[in-house]
Amino acid sequence: MQRIALRTRLRPGAEATYDKEHATIPADLEAEMRAAGVRSWTIWRDGLDLFHYVEVEDYAALQDRLRGSAANQAWQLQMNRLLDGDFDASSTGLPRVWTMGPPAGGTEGEAA
């Protein structure tokens, strides 16, 4: 499983529209993303800055599959009008700088 972080930025004034339109995504797009190995995709917004966290089997394979997807092309067209620059589908994600793992002697989600 790959864990990918991405950053995008909204155009000023697009915050409410983005939040409203991104509250749900088209069912056909979600189905394609899940079939391509996406386990979860979360987006946080801080003002104009968007931070994406993706858990996916193979991010490069996901990008290849979605490039030819009519559902994804329509969605990107809809969303890119709100972004300060188009979403870079070729991005490999933000480089990881640091991670805090589970506590010594325990496992994640388990008391030591």
Tokens of 14: 């697009």
List the CATH number of the domain containing 73: 3.30.70.100
Look at strands 38-46 and 2-9 and give their pairing. Answer: unpaired
Q: In this structure, is residue 32 part of a structural domain?
A: yes
List C-alpha distances in Å: 83 to 76, 77, 94: 10, 10, 18
Domain containing residue 55: 2-80
Look at the chain and report how many structural domains it folds into.
1
The backbone torsions φ and ψ at residue 38, rounded to the nearest 5 degrees and listed phi first, read -75, 120
Per-residue model confidence as pLDDT tens for the chain (112 residues): 999 999 999 999 999 999 999 999 999 999 999 999 999 999 999 999 999 999 999 999 999 999 999 999 999 999 999 999 866 666 788 898 998 989 987 665 554 4
**H or E stretch including 2?**
strand 2-9
pTM, full prediction:
0.84
Q: 72: closest CA among 25, 21, 29?
A: 29
Provide the 10 A C-beta neighbour count for residue 10.
Answer: 19
Q: In this structure, is residue 101 part of a structural domain?
A: no
Q: In this structure, is residue 100 part of a structural domain?
A: no
* Rounded Cα gap, residues 24 and 16, in angstroms: 14
